[in-house]
Amino acid sequence: MQIRDLPYSDPGDPDVRSGPRFLLWLGRGQLTGQLKSLSWGLLHQCSIAGLPLAVGLAVQAVVERSGRGLALAGALIVLLGILIAVGDTMLHRTAVTNWITAAARVQQLLARKTAELGSVLTRRVAAGEVVAVSTGDVEKIGWFVEALSRFVAAAAALVLICVGLVLYLPSLGVLVAIAVPLLALAVLPLLPRATHRADLQREKAGRATELASDTVAGLRVLRGIGGEELFLGRYRRASQEVREAAVRSARMWALISAVQVFLPGVLLISLVWYGATLARDGRIEVGQLVTVYSAATLMLFPLRHFEEIAMAYSFSRPSAQRAVRVLSLRRSARPPTMDAAPEGDLYDPVTGLMAPRGLFTAVVCGDPDEAGRLAERLGGHADTEDGPSTEAEAPSPTEAEKAAHAGPEQTSDAGAGDAPQPVPSVLLGGVPLDELPLASARAAVLVQDKDPVLLSGTLRELLDVPSSGAVTAEDALAAARCGDVLSALAQASVDTDGDPMRTRITERGRSLSGGQRQRLALARSLVTDPEALVLDEPTSAVDSHTEAQVAVGIKQLRTGRTTVAFASSPLLLDCADRVVLVHGGTVVAVGTHRELLRREPRYRAVVTRETDDEAAARAASGDLAGIDALRSAEAIEEIEERA
């Protein structure tokens, strides 16, 4: 794999059983690159190991006054120098390639997982941890993959040098062969504590990153309530904890480095003393002593790779574990069983919510958080990791509708005493969304949350999204009543023709008002023209007059398509073909807006914002329909006439 070939066409299916297994999988995936790096590393290390022999031959030639021997030794030194330069250059090239390709593979895997999970990801893993994994952790993982082949080459070179010294000069070679493994393994008792301190440092750094990202995301709110100093103090304390943990970790690694310097120094002193004694007694030649001493000195360089691989593994293992935590998440336990999404009703077996095909269904929930969760469920974005459920585990659509019309008093005891069941998937045309391929499920059901994000770029680029082609950008903008938005963009356009479609929108649409951003996001959703469109409070940031027009525009443009809108505004509810009331996680009433105002007190309390005192007064006066309901209906008619 070359850097120019990135990104991968398919990053593969990673082994996410554990962090070490994930690192092993990465290494196997780059086996060719690892072998190249190993080969060049062996050439480099063995060429360095050959220098002592050449130097020893040169010294012995000088002692023996042999010009021919000196010339041969010089030629050998030149050849080894060339091999060292070539090996070092290519080793660096291949090692860095391994590093970059491993990091790129992990980033692609994380990007693919993020796109697969969507909003489920941040509910299972903190946003700060995701940022830490995709930045610093990726670098640490690449470092280990890059260092692995260099470590293997260094270890092989040490073995070859020790064997060569034993064969060349057994009296000193045996001493080196015994001492080198001890030097390499001397730091093992210190590694667990160093690893623990490194893990603690990374954990604290992840928390600080998470705190920083949360603070930046809520900066406007913090400024509004004067909480900047409070969160600044928290981040200051968190950063100091990271600094202290980093210092403690550095101390341990400094100790390991000191051991790696001290013990080889003891070996060299012992080797020189013992070798000098042998040379004085005439048992070995001076050239042989120089050869063994030089070889032992150069062995200190390969030994450094043992410290590096230990450090790389200590830092990369927790990073790999965090990456595994993200990559092991699954959208669903069910494998896809169909290639394309069917057409039909959208049904949630958990709440009993039915959205008939081709109709505009409005959903009213007393709890906004419950509405948001239900909207995500309808789009297949809910957390169903606990496992799928068969369709028989949930009530059928007919039973749920009957229960909703029957009233809460007839359904309050249903399911009492039952054991908790796995959460079933939403059905589209009778087929669970979890059994559809991810792309098909998301193309069939589109969810727009209550706080949509506008990406930076021109308005034309914003509306250039995958779609059926049946709805043009002009139709979508008209249905979302974006006339004033287009005028504002035209005035802000730097082009002479004032084309709003070519006007750039700043990051997250910060140059626009909340209502303008909301309507542009709605237009983007309408352009896609999905089989089922789920809108969570699509008009919460606009005025009443615009809200009524937007509701009419949605209904007209989405004729023949399934549309679900979570709202509590009478203006939007009255435009819906049917309205569903969800209370306590269950559908309790179904009908039109005006029907539910007359016969359902809980619906009336949510829609008209009725207080307990007003409800008691209404009950005492016998006014079941209510004055507020009548006023609401009259207001709707008046606004529709004006529109």
Tens digits of residue pLDDT in 68-104: 888 998 999 999 999 999 999 999 899 888 888 888 8
User: In 3D, which of 289, 293, 290 has the Cα closest to residue 278?
Assistant: 289
- Please tell me the number of Cα atoms within 13 Å of 416 on its side-chain side: 5
Backbone angles phi, psi at 504, to 5 degrees: -80, 140
pLDDT per residue as tens digits for the range 551-592: 999 999 999 999 999 998 999 999 999 999 999 889 999 999
DSSP secondary structure string for all residues of 226-240: T-HHHHHHHHHHHHH
CA distances from 84 to 55, 80, 445 (A): 15, 6, 61
DSSP β-bridge partners for residue 579: 362, 591
Angle at 386 between CA 384 and CA 388, to 5 degrees: 65
DSSP summary character for residue 587: E
CA distances from 241 to 210, 234, 247, 251, 309 (A): 14, 11, 10, 15, 26
Angle at 187 between CA 185 and CA 189, to 5 degrees: 100
At 86, list the tokens.
């070539």
- Global confidence as pTM: 0.62
pLDDT band at 386 (very low <50, low <70, confident <90, very high): very low
At 342, list the tokens.
């069917």
Q: Name the residue with higher pLDDT: 452 or 388.
A: 452
| Distant-in-sequence, close-in-space partners of 298: CB < 8 Å, separation ≥ 6 | 48, 49, 51, 52, 161
- Please tell me the number of Cα atoms within 13 Å of 242 on its side-chain side: 16
Cα distance between residue 329 and residue 605, in whole Å: 40
Residue 216 pLDDT: 64
For CA atoms 388, 390, 392, 397, the dihedral sign is positive
pLDDT per residue as tens digits for the range 58-71: 887 888 888 888 89
β-strands 562-566, 532-536: how paired? parallel
Cα distance between residue 441 and residue 430, in whole Å: 13
Backbone angles phi, psi at 580, to 5 degrees: -120, 130
Q: How much is the mean pLDDT over the chain? A: 80
Domains of the chain, earliest start first? 14-327 (1.20.1560.10), 346-411+421-642 (3.40.50.300)
Cα distance between residue 299 and residue 163, in whole Å: 13
Backbone angles phi, psi at 49, to 5 degrees: -65, -25
Mean local confidence (pLDDT), 197-217: 74
- Please tell me the number of Cα atoms within 13 Å of 203 on its side-chain side: 10
Name the percent of the chain lying above pLDDT 90. 17
pLDDT band at 176 (very low <50, low <70, confident <90, very high): confident
Q: Name the residue with higher pLDDT: 416 or 278.
A: 278
Q: Name the residue with higher pLDDT: 113 or 56.
A: 113
Name the percent of the chain lying above pLDDT 70. 81
DSSP summary character for residue 427: E
Q: 534 pLDDT exceeds 90? A: yes
Q: Are 581 and 371 in contact (CB under 8 A)?
A: no
Residue 558 pLDDT: 93
β-strands 346-348, 353-355: how paired? antiparallel
Q: 362 pLDDT exceeds 90? A: yes
What is the H or E stretch that residue 564 is in?
A: strand 562-566
User: In 3D, which of 530, 254, 241 has the Cα closest to residue 378?
Assistant: 530
Of the ranges 39-43, 521-525, 625-629, which one carries the lowest mean pLDDT score?
A: 625-629
Q: Are 348 and 428 in contact (CB under 8 A)?
A: no
pLDDT per residue as tens digits for the range 118-152: 767 766 776 667 777 877 788 888 888 888 888 88
How many residues make up the chain in this entry? 643
pLDDT band at 347 (very low <50, low <70, confident <90, very high): very high
Of the ranges 32-41, 171-180, 418-427, which one carries the lowest mean pLDDT score?
A: 418-427
- In this structure, the number of other CB atoms found within 10 A of the CB of residue 599 comes to 14
Q: Are 475 and 465 in contact (CB under 8 A)?
A: no
Angle, to 10 degrees, between the axis of helix 286-298 and the axis of helix 138-168?
170
DSSP β-bridge partners for residue 346: 355, 428
Exposure string of 324-363, with b = 16+ CB inside 10 Å and e = fewer, is: bbbbebebbebeeeeeebeebbbbbbbbbbbbeeebbbbb
pLDDT band at 420 (very low <50, low <70, confident <90, very high): very low
Q: 399 pLDDT exceeds 80? A: no
SS3 assignment, position 536: strand
Backbone angles phi, psi at 310, to 5 degrees: -65, -45
